[in-house]
Amino acid sequence: PHFVRCIRSNATETALHLDRSVAMRQIRSLQVLETVNLMAG
Protein backbone atom coordinates (compact mmCIF):
# COMPACT_ATOMS: atom_id res chain seq x y z
CA PRO A 1 0.00 0.00 0.00
CA HIS A 2 1.01 3.59 -0.61
CA PHE A 3 0.17 6.55 1.61
CA VAL A 4 0.13 10.23 0.65
CA ARG A 5 0.70 12.82 3.34
CA CYS A 6 0.59 16.52 2.51
CA ILE A 7 2.69 18.80 4.69
CA ARG A 8 2.32 22.57 4.54
CA SER A 9 5.68 24.31 4.44
CA ASN A 10 4.44 27.41 6.29
CA ALA A 11 1.30 28.82 7.87
CA THR A 12 0.86 31.64 5.35
CA GLU A 13 1.27 29.44 2.24
CA THR A 14 4.08 31.67 1.00
CA ALA A 15 5.96 30.18 -1.94
CA LEU A 16 9.55 29.03 -1.40
CA HIS A 17 9.41 29.53 2.38
CA LEU A 18 9.92 26.68 4.83
CA ASP A 19 8.94 27.18 8.47
CA ARG A 20 10.54 24.20 10.20
CA SER A 21 8.36 24.45 13.30
CA VAL A 22 5.15 24.33 11.24
CA ALA A 23 6.37 21.37 9.19
CA MET A 24 7.66 19.44 12.22
CA ARG A 25 4.41 19.98 14.12
CA GLN A 26 2.51 18.38 11.23
CA ILE A 27 5.01 15.52 10.88
CA ARG A 28 4.67 14.73 14.57
CA SER A 29 0.87 14.95 14.61
CA LEU A 30 0.54 12.75 11.51
CA GLN A 31 3.06 10.27 12.97
CA VAL A 32 4.93 10.23 9.67
CA LEU A 33 8.20 8.93 11.13
CA GLU A 34 6.45 6.12 12.98
CA THR A 35 4.60 5.11 9.80
CA VAL A 36 7.83 5.05 7.78
CA ASN A 37 9.54 2.90 10.40
CA LEU A 38 6.58 0.53 10.53
CA MET A 39 6.46 0.16 6.75
CA ALA A 40 10.25 -0.39 6.58
CA GLY A 41 9.88 -3.49 8.67
pLDDT for 24 = 95
Question: So what's the pLDDT on residue 26?
Answer: 94
Are the C-beta atoms of 30 and 5 separated by less than 8 Å? yes
Q: What pLDDT score was predicted for residue 23?
A: 95
Which pLDDT score, from 0 to 100, does residue 35 have?
A: 85
Domain locations in the chain as residue ranges = 1-41
Determine the pLDDT at residue 15: 96
The 3-class secondary structure across 6-34, one letter per residue, is CCCCCCCCCCCCCCHHHHHHHHHHCCHHH
Tell me how far apart the alpha carbons of residues 28 and 7 are, in angstroms, rounded to a whole number.
Answer: 11
Q: What is the pLDDT of residue 39?
A: 86
10-38 burial by CB neighbour count: b if 16+ within 10 A, else e? eeeeeeeeeeeebeeeeeeeeeeeeeeee
pLDDT for the residue 9: 96
pLDDT in tens, 1-41: 777 889 999 999 999 999 999 999 999 998 988 888 888 98
